[in-house]
Amino acid sequence: MLITGGGYSKQMEAVVRQHLFDMDMATFSRTSLPENSSKAPTPDSSNPSSNDRNKYISLKGRLAQDLRDLKDCWIDGMKYLTYEEIQRGFPNTYAARSTKWVDPQPQLPKVVGKYKQAFQLPLHRNTTPLEGLNFGRRFLEEWASENGIKYRSKLNEWL
């Protein structure tokens, strides 16, 4: 069951990382490359253009590394908790999945404090945080029940 738990946590990590990465990429795509040319430096001035360019290049490098880490996270999650394992070992969670297409556009809850949303399996790069939340809650509750652990998520009150 430890491998399943590792796969579960990696899939949850991948959903969160994917959401953050997509937000970073949206910001990066709106950011223009800073000018390379600058006025001749004076003794009392710094070169903000050079600093901006260095920050831009650093961000670009960080995004490339984040993309590699994100890919590894998805691979590990799917390797250690397969779709078939969820289907076989977590029948209630599997039965709760949506069999219809879930629009990957992030949707805010219609009522504050109500976070119930359909989720698709397997989780994927377009899984929304609310889908991940709903899958994760069901998965943990079923896992705890199967292992004789008394666990009840406070999210039940909000769903």
Segment-wise mean pLDDT, segments of 10 residues, the chain, 159 residues: 75 96 90 67 58 84 94 95 95 94 72 77 92 92 91 72
In Å, what is the CA distance from 14 to each residue of 34, 124, 156?
A: 31, 9, 23
Question: Under a CB-based contact definition with an 8 Å cutoff, are residues 80 and 3 in contact?
Answer: yes
E strands, the chain, where? Answer: none
Q: Which two tokens stand for residue 117?
A: 């949303």
pLDDT at 90: 96
pLDDT at 34: 75
Distance CA(147)–CA(101), nearest Å, equals 32
- Say whether the peptide bond before residue 106 is cis (omega within 30 degrees of 0): no
Buried b (16+ CB within 10 A) or exposed e, 130-147: bbbbbbbbbbbbbbeeee
Q: Which two tokens stand for residue 82?
A: 């397969």
Distance CA(41)–CA(64), nearest Å, equals 32
* Closest C-alpha to 76, from 92, 155, 102, 68: 68
Overall residue count recorded for the chain in this entry: 159
